[in-house]
């Protein structure tokens, strides 16, 4: 689906990859409804949009609040007149600890944001998208959704749920105007740990863990290109591509390989 003159809803649009998705879409001529739980972050995105902010609306919203999500389409319609696409980008990671050390509050928070937030937005906007001549849903899973990452087991479970939810949704919508894409980012250069409230051990960096990060603007470009080209699945970053291949070929070796790369974070 071409995004020029289309209205796209982007969750997590206040920072990181979500902000870059918003800015990229605006640069391509789209109208964007940016959703975030942080009002200051949304204001920052609007400022960066510059003169393109006339095609941007910002909506302060907790995507885990189903009633609030269900009120959102009316606000987007009032701002833009229609809605043609949805990018479920908002997500958080868990603290880097073993499952035995992870409390239920953290487990619930990760599942509510990553999985239920995606479900709420999808179900809420789907009736409106089905009325369009063409529309698109992009759900952001993760490399952790197909590969077990130590210290992120519940996060990975939430993203694996997003993966299967999205693939099932696509199959159900094959005979409709709504196209569906699932995205698997690898390590992206954002502040997701800080925004998630997940502390990382002092002195441990991506470089010291041997992880090559993909810049957030590059990740956004890859995702939107996948949307435009109606890709079934999109792998973002050389790490995601390599580990997707390795997991298919040697799943046990892949799991042990990523453990060696990531164990310093535990």
pLDDT in tens, 244-253: 999 999 999 9
In a domain, 237, yes or no: yes
In a domain, 1, yes or no: no
What range does the domain containing 160 cover? 7-265
Cβ burial 136-167 (10 Å sphere, 16+ → b, else e)? bbbbbbbbbbbbbbbbbbbbbbbbbbbbebbb
In a domain, 258, yes or no: yes
Q: What is the CATH number for 67?
A: 3.40.50.720
In a domain, 164, yes or no: yes
Say what the pTM is: 0.93
What's the number of domains the chain is made of? Answer: 1
| Residue 205 scores a pLDDT above 60 | no
Which one of the listed residues 155, 232, 250, 259 is annotated catalytic? 155
Active site residue 259: no
At 198, the pLDDT band (50, 70, 90 cuts) reads: low
At 195, the pLDDT band (50, 70, 90 cuts) reads: low
In a domain, 2, yes or no: no
pLDDT in tens, 214-230: 999 999 999 999 999 99
């Amino acid at each position: 689906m071409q995004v020029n003159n289309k209205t796209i809803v982007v969750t997590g649009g206040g920072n990181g990859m979500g902000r870059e998705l918003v800015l990229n879409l605006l640069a391509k001529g789209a109208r964007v409804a940016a959703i975030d739980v942080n009002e200051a972050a949304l204001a920052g995105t609007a400022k960066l949009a510059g003169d393109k902010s006339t095609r941007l609306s910002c909506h302060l919203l907790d995507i885990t609040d189903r009633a609030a999500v269900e009120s959102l389409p009316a606000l987007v319609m009032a701002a833009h007149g229609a809605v043609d696409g949805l990018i479920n980008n908002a997500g958080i990671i868990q603290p880097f600890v073993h499952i035995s050390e992870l409390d239920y509050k953290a487990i619930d928070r990760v599942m509510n944001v990553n999985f239920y937030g995606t479900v709420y937005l999808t179900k809420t906007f789907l009736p409106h998208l089905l009325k369009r001549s063409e529309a698109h849903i992009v759900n952001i899973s993760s490399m952790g959704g197909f590969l077990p990452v130590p210290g992120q087991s519940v996060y990975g479970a939430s993203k694996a749920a997003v993966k299967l939810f999205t693939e099932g949704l696509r199959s159900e919508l094959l005979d409709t105007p709504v196209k569906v894409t699932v995205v698997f980012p690898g390590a992206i250069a954002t502040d997701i740990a800080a925004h998630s409230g997940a502390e990382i051990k002092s002195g441990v960096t991506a470089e010291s863990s041997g992880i090559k990060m993909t810049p957030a603007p590059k990740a956004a470009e890859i995702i939107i290109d996948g949307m435009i080209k109606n890709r079934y699945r999109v792998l973002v970053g050389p790490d995601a591509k390599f580990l997707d291949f390795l997991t298919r070929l040697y799943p046990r070796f892949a799991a042990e390989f990523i453990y060696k790369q990531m164990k310093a974070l535990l």
